[in-house]
């Protein structure tokens, strides 16, 4: 390999990027915009669930039960209704996601030590959100029942019973249970992989479409020099994107960075090099910019979004799909970024994931060089 020829190819690609402002916008502006959109718009937190109440009892006990819901950040009280049809309409129109129906004998049955019935009508259009809302409802109801039981025992015995189990919970890594703390690091992998592959997917295909590939073929430039020379400018851009993404995650979205910054950028560089080489391989195979960009999108964004564990838990996927995820580099990068950001762990724990990213980058570069050599021949 001739370093002079490699540097000449890298300089040629750098000049093209500088002369094409659209490439710079694609390389820097779009990742920032996507991170802003996903970081603010995509959330898995279920808060401020709107609910209405049909209180047929109108007693202190029924109002206290409703107040349990309104006092939490998980529910947003939207008012009362006077008949069942109004409750149905509120749920149908989306004005409320939860409707509580309190029976007329609610207070009387509680005073008699009998079971009082309350109906909870939940909009199940979104099954995951509905399941969470049901969990909130059951938890509040259980707490209300426990309070009533304690007060009844106190009236009978004069003392309040001590709980049989004193459960003291401690949440590690994401103490506030904020979904953005794991969404933002995960979306970094998706965006960086997509942009890196899209950038390099246009390089060699552009040479073929513009007719300059024939000129390159006539020069002494070899396939390794061409591939690595094309990669070098985009590695610098990918590293710059990594810096911007980390700064936005820490200072804009307040995601805690507990691990090594150096390790974070090392694994980020490995991931960027692998995806850049993947895009370059796609460009070599496609020879057309439109087809190359579509192939890059399909081969990077979809696997990274669906099979990396960012949006959907891999453990809940069918076994054949779980097997496929082992060849998706974004799976390992998502695990690494979350481990460094939230858990603060290092190589002693995550070395298998780092090793896979390094091997993936070397393998894809080797395939891209071999494929380019055949295309030049």
Domain coordinates in residue numbering, the chain: 3-43+178-376, 49-157
The Cα–Cα gap between 207 and 268 comes to 28
Asked whether 364 and 343 are in contact (CB, 8 A), the reply is: no
Contacts of 277 (CB under 8 A, 6+ apart): 200, 227, 231, 361, 364, 365, 368
User: Per DSSP, what are the bridge partners of residue 75?
Assistant: 49
Average pLDDT, the chain: 83
Q: What is the DSSP string of 4-64?
A: HHHHHHHHHHHHHHHH-HHHHIIIIIHHHHHHHHHHHH------SEEEEEEESS-SHHHHH
The Cα–Cα gap between 149 and 245 comes to 52
pLDDT value at position 52? 93
pLDDT value at position 50? 92
Residue 329 in tokens: 């580099």
Q: Which of 56-60, 136-140, 192-196, 275-279 has the lowest mean pLDDT?
A: 192-196
CA dihedral over 5, 7, 13, 19, signed as positive or negative: negative
The Cα–Cα gap between 319 and 130 comes to 27
Per-residue pLDDT reduced to its tens digit, 141-173: 988 888 887 777 777 777 767 767 777 778 888
pLDDT value at position 370? 83
User: Is the entire prediction scored with pTM above 0.75?
Assistant: yes
- How many C-alpha atoms does 295 have within 13 Å on its Cβ side? 19
pLDDT value at position 373? 65
The Cα–Cα gap between 345 and 363 comes to 27
Average pLDDT (91-102) is 90
Of the two residues 314 and 359, the one the predictor is more confident about is 359
pLDDT value at position 346? 84
Per-residue pLDDT reduced to its tens digit, 24-67: 777 777 788 888 887 777 777 778 899 999 999 889 888 999 99
Average pLDDT (98-109) is 90
pLDDT value at position 356? 93
Q: Which of 12-16, 209-213, 342-346 has the lowest mean pLDDT?
A: 209-213
Surface-to-core class of residue 12, CB atoms within 10 Å of its CB (0-12 exposed, 13-18 middle, 19+ buried): middle
User: For residue 95, how many other CB atoms are within 10 A of its CB?
Assistant: 14
Of the two residues 27 and 212, the one the predictor is more confident about is 27
Residue 229 in tokens: 């020379």
Percent of the residues in the chain that have a pLDDT greater than 70, as a whole number = 93
User: Per DSSP, what are the bridge partners of residue 51?
Assistant: 77, 98
Count of all residues that appear for the chain in the document: 377
Q: Where does the pLDDT of residue 363 fall: very low under 50, low under 70, confident under 90, or very high at 90 and above? A: very high
Surface-to-core class of residue 203, CB atoms within 10 Å of its CB (0-12 exposed, 13-18 middle, 19+ buried): buried
H/E stretch holding 165 reads none
pLDDT value at position 54? 92
pLDDT value at position 359? 93
Task: Examine the pLDDT at 12 and tell me if it is beyond 70.
Answer: yes
Check: CATH 3.60.21.10 for 49-157? Answer: no
Q: Where does the pLDDT of residue 211 fall: very low under 50, low under 70, confident under 90, or very high at 90 and above? A: low
Of the two residues 347 and 292, the one the predictor is more confident about is 347
pLDDT value at position 89? 92
Contacts of 283 (CB under 8 A, 6+ apart): 200, 201, 202, 203, 204, 205, 292
Of the two residues 195 and 274, the one the predictor is more confident about is 274
């Amino acid at each position: 390999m001739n370093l002079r020829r490699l540097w000449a190819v890298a300089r040629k690609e750098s000049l093209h990027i500088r002369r094409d402002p659209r490439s710079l916008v694609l390389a820097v502006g779009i990742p920032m915009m996507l991170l802003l959109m996903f970081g603010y718009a995509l959330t898995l937190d279920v808060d401020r669930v709107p609910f209405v109440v049909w209180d047929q009892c109108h007693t202190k006990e029924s109002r206290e039960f409703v107040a349990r819901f309104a006092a939490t950040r998980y529910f947003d009280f939207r008012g009362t209704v006077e008949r069942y049809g109004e409750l149905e309409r509120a749920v149908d129109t989306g004005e409320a996601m939860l409707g509580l129906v309190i029976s007329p004998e609610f207070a009387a049955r509680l005073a008699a030590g009998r079971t009082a019935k309350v109906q909870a009508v939940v909009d199940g259009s979104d099954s995951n959100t509905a399941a969470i809302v049901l969990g909130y409802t059951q938890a509040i109801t259980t707490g209300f029942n426990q309070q009533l039981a304690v007060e009844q025992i106190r009236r009978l015995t004069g003392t309040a019973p001590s709980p049989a189990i004193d459960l003291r919970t401690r949440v590690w890594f994401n103490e506030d249970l904020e979904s953005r703390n794991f969404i933002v690091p995960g979306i970094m992998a998706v965006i960086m992989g997509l942009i890196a592959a899209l950038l390099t997917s246009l390089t060699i295909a552009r040479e073929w479409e513009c007719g300059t590939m024939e000129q390159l073929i006539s020069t002494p430039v070899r396939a390794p020099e061409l591939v690595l020379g094309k990669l070098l400018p985009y590695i610098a851009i990918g590293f710059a994107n990594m810096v911007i993404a980390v700064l936005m995650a820490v200072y804009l979205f307040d995601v805690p960075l507990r691990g090594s910054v150096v390790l974070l950028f090392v694994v980020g560089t490995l991931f960027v090099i692998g995806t850049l080489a993947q895009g370059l391989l796609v460009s070599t195979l496609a020879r057309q910019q439109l087809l190359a960009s579509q192939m890059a999108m399909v081969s990077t964004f979809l696997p990274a979004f669906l099979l990396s564990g960012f949006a959907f838990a891999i453990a809940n996927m069918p076994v054949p799909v779980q097997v496929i995820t082992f060849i998706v580099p974004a799976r390992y990068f998502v695990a690494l970024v979350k481990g460094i950001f939230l858990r603060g762990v290092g190589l002693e724990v995550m070395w298998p994931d780092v090793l896979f990213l390094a091997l993936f980058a070397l393998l894809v570069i080797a395939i891209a060089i071999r494929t380019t050599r055949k295309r030049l021949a």
